[in-house]
Structure 1
Amino acid sequence: MRELLHDLRYGWRMLLKTPGLTAVIVMMITIGVGANSAVFSIFAATLLRPLPYDKPGELVHLNGIRKQGSFQEQPFSYPNFADIRDRNQVFSQMGAYSGTSASLSGKDGAQQIVTPVASAGFFETLGVKPILGSTFQREHEQGQSAPVVMLTHGGWQRYFGGSPDVVGKTMVLNGELSTVIGVLPQSFQFGPSQSGEIWQSMRIKGWGARRNAFWLNPVARLKAGVNSQQAQAGISALARQLEQQYPDDNAGIGVQLVSLEEKLVGSIRPVLQLLMATVAFVLLITCANVAGLLLARSAPRQKEISIRVALGARRGRILRQMLTESVLLALFGGTVGTMAAVWLVPAIIRLIPQVELAAMPSLQSLHVNPGVLAFSLGLSCLTGILFGIMPALQVLKPD
């Protein structure tokens, strides 16, 4: 420990001897570490962190597939969704959602807002329990039933000031009086419908009740002991039955199961992987440039090092001392880079298309967390060793 403290003091003095060069190197490291830390924050939140639902690995998304022509994905009709929900043998729970908007009337007039709709069983499938009231039930889906809504935590605060007796109160949506039956927890987020603070229960009537009206997106939870391949086989068989039973509406329509995580973040994964590889390459270039600067700085110290070795100093001891200088530089740059990452993260998120961003609930409240700080610290130390080892070995080479 005493030797380490001595090395730190010695390294600090050596850095102060060349303040201009030290500042340039710290700035270069700041850019490299800051960019990597910011991108890693987004990468980890999107691809490494599990979805914020109960046992997210069991959740799947059902895509309708037109098997002829361009093999394109499409939503489900309500009758097809209901048949698969009621007749399948591979799901323990199943629900559906759809994005929509509505006119909300109030004392300041009407405004158009995002109001996603959900079926009975949707929140139960995700494992989300309301903090007040209840969730949507099958009877709410009847075309002639009175409209009911659930509020997100933000909607509860915005429209009712967080009143604990909000259940039973009403809102006017599309000219109809809608009753609040529940409030969702603050932690609830759901991809494509993230911006909606009012969830409506679906009501099946008119166009929405037709088998050839495709507007629903089903999600389901696999039964215990059923894997995704078994589930796909079971649902494909059921889709073929529906195709034979309703050839006019279901001809050429199949069902594809994907994990809910893949549905929400799959399209952004290649972009983030490419971005992560790019900033890693930038960091390698930074290390090479800093190594060149350190090598130029250490050339005049060749004579000093030779004298110390001649007087009995161990080469390993000198190597450690020089690496301590490099790691100090890297830690200074890494500290500033981490602070820069706090600003860079929201800047990068603003560049993500709104459609993609809405589908990634983990990015809605992203910040530089302890995991990212640990990544930055480790990356800084590794960077210091990478750009410091070659100049140190070069200086220590015997004449």
Structure 2
Amino acid sequence: MPGLMFSRRRRYEEIAESIREHLDEKIADLIEHGMTLEDAQRTAHLEFGDITVIEQRSREVWQWPVLDSLRIETEDALHRMLHAPRFTVIALLILGVAIGANTMIFSLLNGVLFKPLAYPHSERLLAVNHQSQQAGFKNMGISPSLYFIYREQNTTLTDIGAYDHDELDVTGSTIPERVRVLDVTDGTLPLLGVSPFQGRLFTQKDDSPNSAQTVLLTYPYWQKRFGGTSSVIGRSITVGGVSREIIAVLPQDFHFLDQQDPSLILPMRWDRSTTTLGNFNANAIAMLKPGVSLQQATTNLAGLLPVALKTFSTPAGISDDFYRSLHLAPNLLPLKTQVLGNVQSSLWLLLVAAVLVLFVACANVANLLIAQIEVRCDEFALRYVIGGTRKDFSATILVESALIGIAGSIIGLLLAYGALHIIVRFEGADIPRIRDIAITPLVWFFNATVALVTCLLIACAPILQSTGLHLEGLLQEHRDVERQSRKGWIAARVLVTLQVALSVVLLVCSGLMFRSVRAMLRVSPGFTQPENIQTFGFYIPESQIPDTSPDLVIHKDQKLLETLAAIPGVSAVGLGRSVPMDKNSYQNPVYVQKHLEEKGEVPPSRPFNFVAPGFFSALGTRLIAGHDFTWGDIYSRKPVVIVSKAFASQYWPRAENALGQKIRVTSTDTWREIIGVSDDVRYDGVKDPAPAIVYWPLVMDNFAGQEHKLQRATVFAVRSRTARTQAFLEDIQQQVGNVMPNIPLANVETLGELYTKSMARTTFTLVMLCVFAGMALALGTLGIFSVIAYSIAQRPRRLPPSAGSVARRPSVLEMSIRQGMSLTLPGIAIGLAIAFVAMRFMPVSLFGVSAHDPVTYVTTAWAVAVAALLGCYLPARRVASSESLERASNQV
């Protein structure tokens, strides 16, 4: 660039020299024809014209006028910004934070919603589910029988793969540990395009029930347990009491869908020869053939359901009519839709909120620019005299706005990067696909687009203000100064009112979310003091105690409960198949005696839990009727059961009426007497209604078609004020080791942590909305402060000479409040009207509060009014001080 400028300067000098040479030649020629020197010079100049203009026009041939003008404007704008540091810093911070908020939320949207899943042909991947309206099943997975039929006879899928999650103990030469396991059929990983880092994937032979036991290691577990040794392939590892050959290590970037990463992958090993109908405990994915639609695949699989009924037998105690009456139907979804769940509404709401913050920020900066224009009226008037046009003034303002917008976007990008890093590291927002969130080229493009839009938005009002300046009047001893100020005042008023209105909308939205969360926290979850309930998973493998000795398994559970109860500070202990909010329950239809369904009907499906005596006491759940199980009930296999209040209320008017009634799962099961009714527990989170749950004993005979039902995998709940502490966890581990050596604990966390996780996404949405609303309110207050301060700054010159200092203080305060409220009240009214309409379409469902909750609207109006009064009072107090008033009097 310096070389280019030097070359252009030299060319300009050559042009000037050439013009002088031509002029000198003309003068010499006129002298030769008899003219005097003076006459020759005068004649030559008249013929040539203005030499300066000729030089300028000649130079333009070697110029880029637009670029040169832009360069000059940019340099001047930078100079002005550097000499107005307060204005520059405030404007950049306002826009940086607002643009950063938009960039951050768009990054979330891009990573979560817009990006395709990181699998080959991800647009053709499906989640295979089933539904039964009759039984109340909305999203069942897949059964082994349907898996076999679909894979063998479908005509619309390239392949289908089943999977399930489990937790098993890894034992052997090192310290035993409980690890997360992914069970898959042989086609599951190939559907996702997985290639092993070492070794090979499962084949159909590995997935056969009589083949050798094999296992795949994930990359982190390979590094953790085997130190990344390359000789791991072919070695054995004991998983779940079974020795298995390691046949592969998966790549470092392997993540199964959007679920918690497993440590080991095991083959499903379903036995087709012994498979019966039912058992929808697994999940499945599939890939459409090219050119096949989702509807075609659904129709194809629906046609195969009767084939499964004819091919496979029913389990003991369940008739063919039962399965026909379910009216099962495939429920196929794009895999991405299944992964995302219902997060879309929350993210779109946050983006709308961020955009509103950006509008408020733009209005605020536009106000600052308008104030700058008022200060620079003399500059514009002088430029107008020497040939400047209003178009030039608009270009000046646009360049300044562009510099502010570009710098703000850079700051915003840096802030967004930091915020995203915190969100991804924290992982507490319950956002799916959080690993895919990053600053990508699309995010860069979005940031640049926002910067461009921001430049235009903040420039519009100042440009209109500059075009309305009466420049001729300004040159006549400032006779029209007040008129210019009045025009700037009107523009500022409009922008401040807009800021207030948008702030009100955001505050109403965040207020409704706050009241929703508050309502959730007031809902009794059905348990007490969850932060004092330590939970952990425990599994007694069949390799240690076989199924032929169920009483020994129960005895170990009882012994461990008694040992844990002896730990100092423990007030109650219990165990069950699951605890509230751990997402580990399953359900089945339940028949109620004396409430038999009509022929062809299926009773509603109910969630199940299998518990031991003391479970309700450990959770702090009340038994509102009847009594708890006893160990005598457990060991004697007494046919008893406990139901929740929600279950009882669907059949009997009072909870006490349920006592003595009988229920069962299949038509050949033993009828089991209801001996207790528990208070409702929000197993799926406080936002969802309490389920009508059924609590069965840990071990039973003749249950759900099984001769013996034994619950091996359990979750212990230990109530103590020292829960979460390292010393308490060490005591638990020691007592477990004393009862069952080499049995590791799994999922060690408090019930309070599970409770917090169940509200994580709602809490994240609330926090972000409150941040955005707080930003908008602060900016709105700043806008009022700026306008009032500007108005007061113009006031002293217009005070009448008779106004004394005693009278002036209330006059200034009254003027400030009057003018501030004239901006605020219309903004509040407009904002409330917009919010009243917009909240009806709020994408995030509210809980325990109406979208038109009057408390929220009134509180918002008061909050904005108080903030506005503060914005009025501060500049008034500053200007109305005795020193300021004395200076004003001197000026008068």
- Normalising by the residue count of structure 2, what TM-score does the alignment of the two structures yield? 0.42
CA positional deviation for 1:118: 0.9
Report the Cα distance in structure 2 between the residues aligned to 1:305 and 1:232, rounded to whole angstroms: 71
Q: Give the equivalent residue in structure 1 for 2:403.
A: 328
The residue type paired with residue 343 of structure 1 is G
The residue type paired with residue 391 of structure 1 is P
The residue type paired with residue 373 of structure 1 is W
What secondary structure, in the 3-state scheme, does the structure 1 residue paired with 2:376 have? helix
Which of 380, 389, 396 in structure 1 is aligned with 2:460? 389
What secondary structure, in the 3-state scheme, does the structure 1 residue paired with 2:232 have? coil
Report the Cα distance in structure 2 between the residues aligned to 1:302 and 1:241, rounded to whole angstroms: 86
Report the Cα distance in structure 1 between the residues aligned to 2:344 and 2:445, rounded to whole angstroms: 23
Q: Give the equivalent residue in structure 1 for 2:269.
A: 203
Which of 71, 76, 83 in structure 2 is aligned with 1:17? 83
Q: Give the equivalent residue in structure 1 for 2:449.
A: 378
Q: Which has the higher contact order (CA 8 A, sep 6+)?
A: 1
CA offsets per residue over residues 31-89 of structure 1, 9 Å max, x none? 11111111111111111111111111111111111231535111112122112111211
Report the Cα distance in structure 2 between the residues aligned to 1:9 and 1:152, rounded to whole angstroms: 57
Whether the aligned pair in 2 keeps the contact of 1:97 and 1:119 (CA below 8 Å) is yes
CA positional deviation for 1:233: 1.1
Superposed counterparts of 1:298-317, under 5 Å: 298-317=373-392
Which of 292, 315, 333 in structure 2 is aligned with 1:258? 333
Whether the aligned pair in 2 keeps the contact of 1:119 and 1:201 (CA below 8 Å) is yes
Report the Cα distance in structure 1 between the residues aligned to 2:183 and 2:258, rounded to whole angstroms: 12
Report the Cα distance in structure 2 between the residues aligned to 1:74 and 1:121, rounded to whole angstroms: 20
CA positional deviation for 1:106: 5.3
Report the Cα distance in structure 1 between the residues aligned to 2:254 and 2:141, rounded to whole angstroms: 23
Report the Cα distance in structure 2 between the residues aligned to 1:153 and 1:315, rounded to whole angstroms: 66
What secondary structure, in the 3-state scheme, does the structure 2 residue paired with 1:115 have? strand
Report the Cα distance in structure 2 between the residues aligned to 1:266 and 1:394, rounded to whole angstroms: 49
What secondary structure, in the 3-state scheme, does the structure 2 residue paired with 1:99 have? strand
Q: Give the equivalent residue in structure 1 for 2:419.
A: 344
Whether the aligned pair in 1 keeps the contact of 2:220 and 2:252 (CA below 8 Å) is yes
Identity of paired residues, percent?
26
The residue type paired with residue 440 of structure 2 is N
Q: 1:375 to 1:338 in 2, by over 3 A?
A: same
The residue type paired with residue 206 of structure 2 is H
CA positional deviation for 1:190: 2.1
The answer to whether structure 1 residue 234 and structure 2 residue 304 are counterparts is no
Whether the aligned pair in 1 keeps the contact of 2:170 and 2:177 (CA below 8 Å) is yes
CA positional deviation for 1:162: 3.2
Whether the aligned pair in 2 keeps the contact of 1:140 and 1:202 (CA below 8 Å) is no
The residue type paired with residue 176 of structure 1 is V
Q: Give the equivalent residue in structure 2 for 1:83.
A: 149
User: Which ranges of structure 2 fall in alignment gaps of 5 or more residues?
Assistant: 1-66, 315-319, 471-892
Report the Cα distance in structure 1 between the residues aligned to 2:258 and 2:278, rounded to whole angstroms: 23
The answer to whether structure 1 residue 145 and structure 2 residue 211 are counterparts is yes
Report the Cα distance in structure 2 between the residues aligned to 1:260 and 1:149, rounded to whole angstroms: 26
Whether the aligned pair in 1 keeps the contact of 2:255 and 2:261 (CA below 8 Å) is no
Q: 1:310 to 1:210 in 2, by over 3 A?
A: farther
Report the Cα distance in structure 2 between the residues aligned to 1:10 and 1:263, rounded to whole angstroms: 55
Considering only CA atoms, is the larger Rg found in Structure 1 or Structure 2? 2
CA offsets per residue over residues 312-370 of structure 1, 9 Å max, x none? 2132232122111112112222222211112211334467667x54x52xx22633234
What secondary structure, in the 3-state scheme, does the structure 2 residue paired with 1:325 have? helix
Q: Give the equivalent residue in structure 2 for 1:277.
A: 352
Report the Cα distance in structure 2 between the residues aligned to 1:277 and 1:113, rounded to whole angstroms: 41
Instruction: Judge which range, 300-309 or 223-232, deviates more.
Output: 300-309
Report the Cα distance in structure 2 between the residues aligned to 1:394 and 1:145, rounded to whole angstroms: 83
CA positional deviation for 1:191: 2.2
Q: 1:288 to 1:240 in 2, by over 3 A?
A: farther
The answer to whether structure 1 residue 368 and structure 2 residue 434 are counterparts is no
Report the Cα distance in structure 1 between the residues aligned to 2:195 and 2:176, rounded to whole angstroms: 31
CA positional deviation for 1:232: 1.2
The answer to whether structure 1 residue 98 and structure 2 residue 164 are counterparts is yes
Whether the aligned pair in 2 keeps the contact of 1:171 and 1:178 (CA below 8 Å) is yes
What secondary structure, in the 3-state scheme, does the structure 1 residue paired with 2:205 have? helix
Whether the aligned pair in 1 keeps the contact of 2:125 and 2:287 (CA below 8 Å) is yes
Q: Give the equivalent residue in structure 1 for 2:227.
A: 161
CA positional deviation for 1:398: 4.5
The residue type paired with residue 36 of structure 1 is N
Whether the aligned pair in 2 keeps the contact of 1:105 and 1:111 (CA below 8 Å) is yes
Q: Give the equivalent residue in structure 1 for 2:194.
A: 128
CA offsets per residue over residues 253-293 of structure 1, 9 Å max, x none? 22111111111114212221211121112111111121122
CA positional deviation for 1:133: 1.8
Whether the aligned pair in 2 keeps the contact of 1:34 and 1:339 (CA below 8 Å) is yes
Q: 1:343 to 1:105 in 2, by over 3 A?
A: farther
How many residues are treated as equivalent by the alignment? 394
Q: Give the equivalent residue in structure 2 for 1:318.
A: 393
What secondary structure, in the 3-state scheme, does the structure 2 residue paired with 1:138 have? coil
What secondary structure, in the 3-state scheme, does the structure 2 residue paired with 1:142 have? coil
CA positional deviation for 1:157: 2.9
The residue type paired with residue 223 of structure 1 is K
CA positional deviation for 1:303: 3.3
User: Which ranges of structure 1 fall in alignment gaps of 5 or more residues?
Assistant: none
Instruction: Judge which range, 25-34 or 380-389, deviates more.
Output: 380-389
What secondary structure, in the 3-state scheme, does the structure 1 residue paired with 2:223 have? helix
Q: 1:309 to 1:116 in 2, by over 3 A?
A: same
Over the aligned positions, Cα root-mean-square deviation in angstroms equals 2.5
- Normalising by the residue count of structure 1, what TM-score does the alignment of the two structures yield? 0.90
Whether the aligned pair in 1 keeps the contact of 2:112 and 2:436 (CA below 8 Å) is no
Report the Cα distance in structure 1 between the residues aligned to 2:414 and 2:381, rounded to whole angstroms: 40
Instruction: Judge which range, 337-346 or 165-174, deviates more.
Output: 165-174
Q: 1:225 to 1:396 in 2, by over 3 A?
A: same
